[in-house]
Structure 1
Amino acid sequence: MPLPSKSRKVWCSMLADLISRNPDLQRLMDDGYSVEIRRQTGLHLLVHDVPYRNAPGDLKRGTLVCPIHLREDNLTNAAANHQAWFIGEHPCSIEGTPIAGIVHSSGRSDFGDGIVVDHGFSTKPRTGFYNDYYDKMTHYINVISAPAQHLDPTLTARLYKPAQTTDNSVFYYADTASTRSGIGSIAGKVAALRIAIVGLGGTGSHILDLVAKTHVNEIHLFDGDAFYSHNAFRAPSATAISDLQTPELKAKRYARIYSVMRRGVEAHPEYVTDQNVGLLQHFDFVFICIDKGAARELIAKYLLQAGIPFIDVGMHVQMTKDAQKLVGQVRTTFFSPKKNDHFDRRVPVDSGNMRNDYGLNIQVNELNALNAVHAVIRWKKYYGIYDDQIGEHESVYAINAHMLTKDERVEG
């Protein structure tokens, strides 16, 4: 049973609401500026067709770029940053030198969402801050355009072209954190991925909580079990007692919860077996978060044969002899095209007589969360969000020794 191949749709409802709630953005459009609002991994305001004079004296048009900062009420906050950026050659004065009043930096910089700027500008109004984005953008436009208009008074940035709104984000509201920190291009490295999480117990549910807040395209959830009271103590957030009266299948429950924030969360309320393991061929990456050795081995061997990178997580927790303390380890094992020969020596598939009190549902929510954090950090390192100088494909955290290993490294 193949999974459907989904294409990204254009969603404009959030941007339409943003414009309708903010008169400064609407006024830029009404006054004829070539406005584009672009949202995927960030939220940016672009004004195209800004006339300027380059160093040789040619008249050109460029694009003024500005991240949109929002307050909690979804209203714009232009006062948050007075800088702007430009796509094109550096605008020059009548004398052919860079306009001194706005010079800040030059050099190509990737803002994400297909926005690569060439120059950064900095200038403040006399009041020290901009009242809104109409005030900010028109101020920069006037400064940039003045030398060009000196040569040709008919030049204007107000061409009355239709406004453009591009909303390819998986989120129902803007990721203002990536916009404010300028890491849109970094956050976007996982935007095209389809991933699967197999097992939604303590660690799997925490992994979902973390990856759901990235720009990954689709997250598919596989688990045939229901959500009971003991699960509530090893899951993100809080569960009302009313939600436990009629147990809900985990995959459906978590898809419902996280679908209020984002698109692309799909429930598969079933266990992965030899009958349906082929469903995993459709994913770019898989997290295995189950404690059944036979199922873990089945899934891992299939993914290894298919060449699909994956992470297997697990923990071993037991009581001390006096039953007064817990000891154990948290394991994160990664398999990639560069290194995948370590499954048999690193991943347990037969518990045998080994004592593991974790299986008795000891409540170790913080260990589940830690296991998930290690897994997601390793996943992000693989896709270049975090720098990776070690290349470890196995790490184990020993609780009582407070030691984290870094084994099975990629050589060279």
Structure 2
Amino acid sequence: MSQQLINRSEDLQRLAKAGYAIRIESGLLVVDEIPYLDKDGRILRGVFACPLDATDDSTLPPSDHVMSFSGGMPHDRYGNPLASLGLTSPRCRMLGSLTFQHGFSNKLRGPNGPRAYESFYEKVVTYENLILGEVHAVDQSATARVGALPVSESEDDPFVFPDSASARAGTVDLTAIFKDEVVAFIGLGGTGSYILDHVAKTPVREARLIDGDRLYPFNTFRAPGAPIRSELQPPPYKVDYYATRYGSMKRNIIPHAVYLTPDRFHLLDGISFAFVSIDPCPEKALIIAELERRRVPFVDVGMGLHKGSNGIGGTLRAVLSTNENRDQVRAHIPIDPGGNDLIYQNNIQISDLNSLNANMAVQLWKGFRGFYADFGGPVWLYQVETRQFIREAA
């Protein structure tokens, strides 16, 4: 995903040394300066792009044979669309200002039938040759090997290795919505840790973890993943454990092993969104008030579970609070540990319900930012007994 990956990958180094103008952006291998013929026989330049399968220090063989193309449809020397490319839908539609209008589907054949591309070098060269053969009928000197190596993304990239999942799904333009997001996670318990699990798969600029609790064995039974015994001896702070665990994939996860009290509200400086995953308490009332004062949108979550004669029942809750709806949703955010909100103090937590509550929170966030089409309200409830989601009026 950066110049460092190009330097470490034999496959990408081979392309660079051959003179291809390669770069890596948003989980895609991008090759600029691809010459092609338009229907009138003019030589124009386009751009290849395909999802880059890679670890943090090397590429893997391409798992997909399709090549996306930004430019006009390549033609042969006689003005016909180049049939050998095999037209299909592009895997990538948008990348910054680039629009990918075409998808090419050329499958290699081995002695026993179709075979996969063994490297990205082979994939790029194969598609280049299909187009360049016709270009050379007009100009023998035309080449994609222009010797340029544009400045690529740096170690400030959001991920340790490329997000080829978004590249393959064609959602690069949508995931880019999150690139400037600085997210605070206030509370890393069962639900908060699952929220982090989901958000860590997005390119947010910074994930700021705030929780003063340690991770004990019982916590791990309602949280994502599975630690090894030595990681819990002695019990680490939750924020340190999760920063290390997700730091192997996501950059800029910043742990703060403290409780968020007024003297530490500076930890909220610069945030653009917050997830509040703590029980009702006097401190929570101050945190909510501070987020509102700072005009920071946030999602508050909670689970009210009880054990009855028929098993566990109760309600999950996720509330999106924005500058436009503060007054309407405030009553749905329990901040007083007494009275009618006592249900949220119950300590029954089940990993699948923690995960579901986190899913609700993350979908509200993504819908608010425009990643999902969103026509629902800001208050979302789930009834365990009936397995029904409820959109409650704010």
Same-fold call, TM cutoff 0.5: yes
Cα gap change, 1:124/1:251 in structure 2, threshold over 3 Å: closer, same or farther? closer
**Amino acid in the other structure paired with 1:14:** L
Q: Does residue 124 of structure 1 match 2:115? A: no
Q: Distance in 2 between matches of 1:306 and 1:72?
A: 37
The answer on whether the counterparts of 1:293 and 1:350 sit within 8 Å (CA) in structure 2 is yes
Counterpart among 53, 65, 69 of residue 86 in structure 1: 69
Q: Distance in 2 between matches of 1:257 and 1:108?
A: 30
Give the equivalent residue in structure 2 for 1:219.
207
Cα gap change, 1:213/1:145 in structure 2, threshold over 3 Å: closer, same or farther? same
Give the equivalent residue in structure 1 for 2:3.
12
Q: Distance in 1 between matches of 2:188 and 2:106?
A: 51
Counterpart among 378, 388, 393 of residue 378 in structure 2: 393
Give the count of matched residue pairs: 389
Deviation at 1:148, TM superposition (A): 2.9
- Deviation track 1:267-294 (CA, whole Å, cap 9, x = no partner) reads 1222222223353241110001111332
- Deviation track 1:313-362 (CA, whole Å, cap 9, x = no partner) reads 11212233x6x733321111111233222244212222325585764633
Q: Does residue 36 of structure 1 match 2:22? A: yes
The answer on whether the counterparts of 1:217 and 1:264 sit within 8 Å (CA) in structure 2 is yes
**Amino acid in the other structure paired with 1:151:** V
Q: Does residue 369 of structure 1 match 2:355? A: yes
The answer on whether the counterparts of 1:311 and 1:334 sit within 8 Å (CA) in structure 2 is yes
The answer on whether the counterparts of 1:318 and 1:355 sit within 8 Å (CA) in structure 2 is no
- SS in structure 1 opposite 2:296? coil
The answer on whether the counterparts of 1:187 and 1:214 sit within 8 Å (CA) in structure 2 is yes
Give the equivalent residue in structure 2 for 1:173.
161
- Deviation track 1:11-39 (CA, whole Å, cap 9, x = no partner) reads 5333322x22x3xx43333333x231313
Q: Does residue 282 of structure 1 match 2:270? A: yes
Deviation at 1:75, TM superposition (A): 4.5
Moved more, 62-71 or 400-409: 62-71
The answer on whether the counterparts of 2:239 and 2:257 sit within 8 Å (CA) in structure 1 is yes
Q: Which ranges in structure 1 are unaligned for 5 or more consecutive residues?
A: 1-9
Q: Distance in 2 between matches of 1:140 and 1:299?
A: 56
- SS in structure 2 opposite 1:172? coil
Cα gap change, 1:156/1:298 in structure 2, threshold over 3 Å: closer, same or farther? same
Deviation at 1:311, TM superposition (A): 0.4
- Deviation track 1:340-395 (CA, whole Å, cap 9, x = no partner) reads 222442122223255857646334222222211111121111222222132x1111
Give the equivalent residue in structure 1 for 2:389.
404
Deviation at 1:74, TM superposition (A): 5.1
Q: Does residue 50 of structure 1 match 2:34? A: yes
**Amino acid in the other structure paired with 2:100:** V
Deviation at 1:93, TM superposition (A): 2.2
Deviation at 1:405, TM superposition (A): 1.0
Q: Does residue 327 of structure 1 match 2:313? A: yes
Cα gap change, 1:355/1:406 in structure 2, threshold over 3 Å: closer, same or farther? closer
**Amino acid in the other structure paired with 1:152:** D
- SS in structure 2 opposite 1:65? strand
Q: Distance in 1 between matches of 2:294 and 2:284?
A: 15
The answer on whether the counterparts of 1:108 and 1:118 sit within 8 Å (CA) in structure 2 is no
Counterpart among 228, 234, 239 of residue 251 in structure 1: 239
**Amino acid in the other structure paired with 1:12:** Q
- SS in structure 1 opposite 2:180? coil
Moved more, 151-160 or 98-107: 98-107
- SS in structure 1 opposite 2:168? helix
- SS in structure 1 opposite 2:78? coil
Deviation at 1:163, TM superposition (A): 6.5
- SS in structure 2 opposite 1:276? helix
- Deviation track 1:194-224 (CA, whole Å, cap 9, x = no partner) reads 0001011221122112211222111001112
Moved more, 335-344 or 67-76: 67-76
Q: Distance in 2 between matches of 1:11 and 1:134?
A: 17
The answer on whether the counterparts of 1:220 and 1:268 sit within 8 Å (CA) in structure 2 is yes
Moved more, 174-183 or 209-218: 174-183
- RMSD, matched Cα: 3.0
Q: Distance in 1 between matches of 2:52 and 2:341?
A: 55
**Amino acid in the other structure paired with 1:335:** S
Q: Distance in 1 between matches of 2:336 and 2:36?
A: 70
- SS in structure 2 opposite 1:282? coil
Counterpart among 287, 295, 307 of residue 283 in structure 2: 295
Deviation at 1:70, TM superposition (A): 5.1
Give the equivalent residue in structure 2 for 1:4.
none
Deviation at 1:183, TM superposition (A): 2.3
**Amino acid in the other structure paired with 2:280:** K
Q: Distance in 2 between matches of 1:82 and 1:109?
A: 13
Moved more, 81-90 or 287-296: 81-90
Deviation at 1:191, TM superposition (A): 2.0
- State, as a whole percentage, how many aligned pairs show the same letter: 32
**Amino acid in the other structure paired with 1:92:** H
Give the equivalent residue in structure 2 for 1:310.
298
Give the equivalent residue in structure 2 for 1:348.
334
- SS in structure 2 opposite 1:380? helix
**Amino acid in the other structure paired with 1:393:** P
Q: Distance in 1 between matches of 2:211 and 2:118?
A: 51
Counterpart among 103, 110, 128 of residue 93 in structure 2: 110
Q: Which ranges in structure 2 are unaligned for 5 or more consecutive residues?
A: none
Counterpart among 224, 228, 235 of residue 216 in structure 2: 228
